[in-house]
Amino acid sequence: MSEILVLYYSRYGATTRLAHQAARGVEQVSGMHARIRRIPALPDAHGAVPEIAHDAPPVVQPQDFEECSGLLLGSPTYFGGMAAAVKHLLDDTSRQWFKGTLSGKPAGVFTSTGSMHGGQETVLLSMIVPLLHHGMLIVGIPYSEPALAHTQTGGTPYGASHTTGNNRPLSMEERQLTQALGQRVAETAQKLLLPST
Ligand SMILES: Cc1cc2nc3c(=O)[nH]c(=O)nc-3n(C[C@H](O)[C@H](O)[C@H](O)COP(=O)(O)O)c2cc1C
């Protein structure tokens, strides 16, 4: 069984919901399993650390990067970019960068925003950049996914997304496209793992 690391930060739960949809997509691929891990919260500017939900998955550990065959990385959108906690974790992966731990593995990204035009594309593209430095093979969402052409909510070619608005649940298109991304990353990892003939 090969595993895809579904790694995310979430303060209020919207990005967590996307992570679970991405994991469902991974599990649709026979022989592939989603390993869900969270990125821990940072202290705020005054030193207070936000509370964590009881059902939160384990905090990511260095061996998770070693043991995964691919990565799905999620962050809320904060001022058009990734949350500081996500950047903080990425800035702590120089050992993996030196070793090439993630090089050649597929990756996809996902985000949630408060508003429809609040920066989904900018944050997704900015999350892809450090993954390219790691040598990861970026997987997006193609327009052959029908929901991408008609979504009135989240979903982009650069990665999966969700617009929370006023506590809006995931739309059908957001669920479909996030699962599609998870499935594509898992299928790509599986193809890369197959011995060449
Ligand atoms: C510090 C901060 C900055 C934010 N910046 C944006 C933003 O630039 N655009 C946007 O649409 N929403 C913004 N939001 C809203 C969050 O992206 C949105 O609520 C997101 O769904 C939260 O994800 P979570 O529920 O996983 O914590 C911001 C929220 C916070 C706390």
- Per-domain residue ranges of the chain: 2-193
pLDDT digits (tens, 9 = 90+) for 133-187: 999 999 999 999 999 999 999 999 999 999 999 889 999 999 999 999 999 999 9
Please tell me if the CB atom of residue 81 comes closer than 6 angstroms to any atom of ligand 1.
no
pLDDT at 32 over 90: yes
Ligand 1 centroid distance, CA of 114 (Å): 5
Q: Does residue 83 register a pLDDT over 60?
A: yes
Is the C-beta atom of 132 inside 6 A of ligand 1? no
Position 196 confidence tier, pLDDT thresholds 50, 70, 90: low
What's the gap in Å between 164 CA and the centre of ligand 1? 9
Residue nearest to atom 7 of ligand 1 (CA): 79
pLDDT at 195: 67
- In angstroms, the CA 152 to CA 144 distance is 17
Query: If you write DSSP's letter for every residue of 1-61 in order, what string do you get?
Result: -EEEEEEE--SSSHHHHHHHHHHHHHHTSTTEEEEEEEPPPPP-TTSPPPP--TTPPPBP-
79 lines ligand 1 (CB under 6 A): yes
Report the predicted TM-score, pTM, of the whole model to 2 decimal places.
0.97
Q: Which CATH class is domain 2-193?
A: alpha beta
Is the pLDDT confidence value at 49 over 90? no
Q: For a pLDDT cut of 70, what percent of the chain falls above it?
A: 98
The predicted model gives 55-70 an average pLDDT of 96
Task: Say which residue the tokens 């995310």 belong to.
Answer: 8
Burial environment of residue 155 by CB neighbours within 10 A (0 to 12, 13 to 18, 19 or more): buried
